[in-house]
Structure 1
C-alpha cells in the first residue's frame, strides 16, 4: 500500500505534466492563428493611395481625368464633388452637367471623374469621398491652362524678293504638343501646294513650348499674303507677308510697321532735339 507522501508526489507530478501540456497546446494554437491571420492579411478598412491620386493639369477645351486609387473598399461607394455639390456617386451622375462622368471598371482600384471640354471655370478643388462612417475624403486640385499661339513678328512681315525667310509659330502653355501644326497660304496647305517648290516645315518640342518653322526659299511676289499657323485643337493665328523689290533692304523679315515709318519717326525726333539745343536770340 502506497504511503500518503508517495501519493501526494504522484499527484503533483501529474498536475505539472498536465499544465505543461496545456501551455504547449495554447502556444501552438496561438502560433497557428498568427500564421493564419498573416496569410489572410485582413484589411482594417479602405486605404487611399495618395501617390496615385495626384493634382491634375488640363488644357482649356481638353479633357481632364481626376483619379482616386483605393484599396480594400469592399462594398462601399465613392462619390465625387466640388465645394458642397455632389457630382457623381458610384457610377451615377447627379449633376445636370453632362461633361462630368464617373469612371470605374470592375475589380479596379481606380475611381475617376472625367471632365469633357474643360472650361476655365472648372479650375479648383474637387474631392473623392468613400462611404465609410465617418466618410473618408481626399482633395484634388484641377489646374486649367490656356495655351498661347503666336507667330514671331506678326502681324506683318516684310521680306526682300529673292531672299530666304522663316516664319516661326510658337505654342506656349499646352499640356502636350499638338499632333499636327498646319500652315496655310491663300487657303492652301503649303506643304501640299505643288505650285510652290522650296518650302519646308519643321515642328519640334523645346522645353514646355512647341515650335513650328516654315521656311520660304527665294521669296517671290506670289509669296505675299496671309499665312495661318493652325495647331490641332488650338486657335489659329496669322501673319501678313509683304515681298519687297529691294527698295527697303533693312525691312527684310521685320515685324510691325514698314521701315519708312520708323525712319520718319527718327527724323522727327532728331529735329525736336535740334530745336532744343539751338540757342534762341534775346527779345
Structure 2
C-alpha cells in the first residue's frame, strides 16, 4: 500500500498509476525470466524457451551395409529459426535443406515441425566410413560427431554349392550370416518356390535360427530324406542376398556317387591304400620269380 501511495503521489492520477504498474511488471518479466500467477489450479510458472539442445540418445553412430542406404540423424530441440548443417572433415555437405556436396548421393533430410535433421547417403561405399558432424547455427556453433561404419554382409551355406546324401538318412543344412549391419529378424528356407516351414507335403523338416554375437546361424534339418527332397534350396535372410545349395538324394546302392563340393570323385580311404600296396608286392614277387627262372635257364645253356 505504501508503494501504491507513493506512485499515486508521483503520478497524481489513477491512469498514471496503472501505466506505472504495467511498466514495473514488464521489467520484472524481462529481468527475472518468469512471471508467477495464481489460478484455481495453484501456482503456475511460464518460462522462456531455452536454447537449442542436442538429444544424444537420438543422434547415435550408424552401421550400414555396402551398397545400401545410411541415414545419420541429429535431433535438436528448441532450434527456433536456426538450421542444421552436415559435414565431414573440412567439407560442408548440406546446410538446412540445401546440398553443397558435388556427390549427389548425399541428401539432407528434414520435415517441417520435426526435431530430426538427417543426412542420407545412397549406395554406400567403403570410402564413406568415418566421422561426420552435424552443426547448429548458433553463436558459437554447437556440433556433434557421429561415426559411420560400413560392413559387407556374407551369407553362405556350409558345404555348398552341392550336397549329396543317402536316401533315408538325415541332412542338416547350415546357413551362416556374417558381418550384417543388423541381425535379420527372419531367415527363410525355400525349396521349389515353397517355404519349407509351411510345406504340408513334407512334415520331416525342422528350421531353427540362432543369433550369436557376431553372426546369425540358421539350421535346416531334413529327416529321412526322400528322392523328392532333391533340388535347389535357398537361404533368404531379411534385407540380404539369398544363397542356394543343390541337394542330391541318392539310393543306397550307389555309394560311389557320394561326394561333396570340391572333389571330382570318391576319396581314397585306408582300404584302397592296402589294396594298392598288396598289388605292388605281388607284382614285385612275380618279377623276382621271373628273374630267377631266367637266370636258371641261362646257366643250363652255358653248361652245354
TM-score normalised to structure 2 length: 0.63
Matches of 1:51 and 1:190 in 2, distance apart?
A: 39
Q: Is the 8 A contact 2:196 2:205 kept in 1?
A: yes
For each residue in 1:141-185, what CA deviation from the matched residue of structure 2 results, as whole angstroms up to 9, or x when unmatched? 011222221112224323121112221212223233445544445
Tell me if structure 1 keeps the 8 A contact 2:49–2:78.
no
Q: 1:59 aligns with which of 61, 65, 70?
A: 65
Q: Classify 1:104/1:205 alpha carbon distance in 2 versus 1 (closer, same or farther; 3 Å).
A: farther
In the TM superposition, residue 126 of structure 1 has moved relative to its aligned partner by 1.0
Structure 2 equivalent of residue 34 of structure 1: 32
Q: Which has the higher contact order (CA 8 A, sep 6+)?
A: 1
Correspondence for 2:93 = 87
Q: Say if 1:248 and 1:259, in contact at 8 Å, map to a contact too.
A: no
Q: Which residue number in structure 2 is paired with residue 276 of structure 1?
A: none
Residue 231 (structure 1) aligned with residue 237 (structure 2): yes
Partner of 1:204: 209
Could you give the per-residue CA deviations for residues 233-274 of structure 1, whole angstroms, max 9, x where no partner exists?
A: 32332333333333687x989675488315279949x98xxx
**How far apart in 1 are the matches of 2:85 and 2:271?**
65
Match of 2:124, SS?
coil
Cα shift readout 1:182-215 (whole Å, capped 9, x = no counterpart)? 4445x63353997963453525342344333333
Show CA shifts across 1:106-144 (max 9, x none): 233221112233333321111111223343322110112
Q: Indicate the structure (1 or 2) with the bigger Cα radius of gyration.
A: 2
Deviation at 1:42, TM superposition (A): 4.9
Alignment partner of 1:101 out of 83, 107, 121: 107
Gaps of 5+ in 1: 1-17, 19-27, 272-283
Q: Cα RMSD between the aligned structures?
A: 4.0
> 2:223 maps to what in 1?
217
SS of residue matched to 1:51: helix
Q: Say if 1:49 and 1:220 are closer, same or farther in 2 by CA, change over 3 A.
A: closer
Aligned residues: 242
1:75 aligns with 2:75: no
Asked whether the 8 Å contact 2:183–2:211 carries over to 1, the reply is no
1:149 has 2:147 as partner: no
Distance 1:265 1:175, change over 3 A: farther
Q: Tell me how far apart the structure 1 counterparts of residues 270 and 250 of structure 2 sit (CA, whole Å).
A: 19
